[in-house]
Amino acid sequence: MTDEQEALALDEADPLPTRRAEFLIPPAPDGSYGESAYFAGNSLGLQPRGVAARISEELEDWARFGVEGHTQGRRPWVGYHELLRDPMARLVGALPHEVVAMNTLTVNLHLMMASFYRPAGERTRIVIEDTAFPSDSYAVASQAVHHGLDPAEAIVRLRPREGEDTLRTEDIADYLEREGDRVALLMLGGVNYLTGQLMDIQAITKAGRAAGAVVGWDLAHAAGNVPLRLHDWDVDFAAWCSYKYLNSGPGAVAGCFVHERHVRDASVPKLAGWWGTDPATRFRMGPVIDPPASADAWQLSNPPIFSLAPVLVSLEIFDSVGMGALRAKSERLTAYLARRLTWVADVITPADPAMRGCQLSIRVRDAGGLVHALARSGVIADAREPDVVRLAPVPLYNTFHDCHRLADALSVRITGSL
């Protein structure tokens, strides 16, 4: 059996049939295949076919009802974000009143830090990983400055051990045990954007809270990628975008989680706006806010309907498949791809499937040049300069045959350049 025949057989036998037909796949430029093998879902997920019709319905309601669409449309706009509440809660393992769809990721992180980063006395530090996404680095540094602190002293960047690419859970816990009385906020990425490492969110959260710190998570690369149980894990807050694994379009509306112990605590400070007041009293237009005991209290403005519609379509797909089934297929796909890549490239993502999402990162020379070469053969990935290429076999729409095409293309281009 050839490698290609094996991949096709694995697709045929897999217990979770692909949902590829429900997505729009970019065409392959070289003509050898009709569609690209798309491995950039960790950067921008593919468009579900149902999105265009759903947005068209909202446009039609706008045309038909005008302002009355807030109450008379097929999905009245005044409560539109509530349609996302239950499926979003299921996706991240939360109670419905702990989640809200709003804003974009970094805006939500700032709103969370405005509430939960409260430096006082010696407890001033914000701990992140050294390979945090740049926006997180900028956000925490600006929060330190906002509180009159020097970011060089207030921000702690945890680094892997010498010669290693990823953080060890025990090293994070050891730091918190030694220095925890100086840590105000621990805010890591649930899945690291560069290496694809899946953090032990439960264990790290427990260690952070035991140290007296607030624990928040950037789940941009975790939501829709790995199963989450934010409520049960006692996470203080979390935020995520919806344009990667949640396939909701560039710059799509993000999600936010606040544990119920905080949403029920009226003393937690918040930046406020109109949509953060109780919907039962919102249209009385009073000057004093009356926030509900839910994550909705962190909302600022009325929701953008045309941007929420794709998120709702995506959440419906996840509800119909389930994160358990998707995670199991993700592990099968990454295991197959890792096996095909072992002799081709240096994989810096953890080998243990329990310690990674559906992304494998490889270290190569001229990462950008390699990605451009792959694109010419109909394989789409992305580079993080200078030497990392990220490959994400997304279980909703990637197949074993896609992984075969990728491995073959990498073999030709990497070994041919040695």
Is 221 marked as binding a ligand? Answer: yes
Taking alpha carbons only, the member of 301, 303, 304, 298 closest to residue 111 is 298
Is 105 marked as binding a ligand? Answer: yes
Is 401 marked as binding a ligand? Answer: no
Is 136 marked as binding a ligand? Answer: yes
Q: What is the distance between the alpha carbons of residues 364 and 260, in angstroms, rounded to a whole number?
A: 45
DSSP line for 61-120: HHHHHGGGHHHHSSS-GGGGGGGGHHHHHHHHT--GGGEEE-S-HHHHHHHHHHHH---B
Is 352 marked as binding a ligand? Answer: no
The position carrying tokens 């950039």 is 40
Residue 12: phi and psi, rounded to 5, are -65, -35
Helix (H, G, I), strand (E, B) or coil at 359: coil
Q: What is the distance between the alpha carbons of residues 164 and 167, in angstroms, rounded to a whole number?
A: 8
How many helices (H) and strands (E) in the chain? 14, 15
Is 274 marked as binding a ligand? Answer: yes
Q: What is the distance between the alpha carbons of residues 361 and 194, in angstroms, rounded to a whole number?
A: 7
Helix (H, G, I), strand (E, B) or coil at 407: helix
Is 200 marked as binding a ligand? Answer: no
Q: What is the distance between the alpha carbons of residues 197 and 358, in angstroms, rounded to a whole number?
A: 10
Q: What is the distance between the alpha carbons of residues 271 and 297, in angstroms, rounded to a whole number?
A: 9
Cis status, amide bond into 395, omega within 30 of 0: no
Amino acid letter, 290:
D
Which long-range contacts link 368-373 to residues 24+ away (Cβ below 8 Å)? 370/410, 370/413, 370/414, 373/413
Is 151 marked as binding a ligand? Answer: no
Is 402 marked as binding a ligand? Answer: no
Show binding-site residues for pyridoxal 5'-phosphate.
Answer: 105-106, 133-136, 218, 221, 243, 274, 302
Which residues are annotated as part of the binding site?
A: 105-106, 133-136, 218, 221, 243, 274, 302
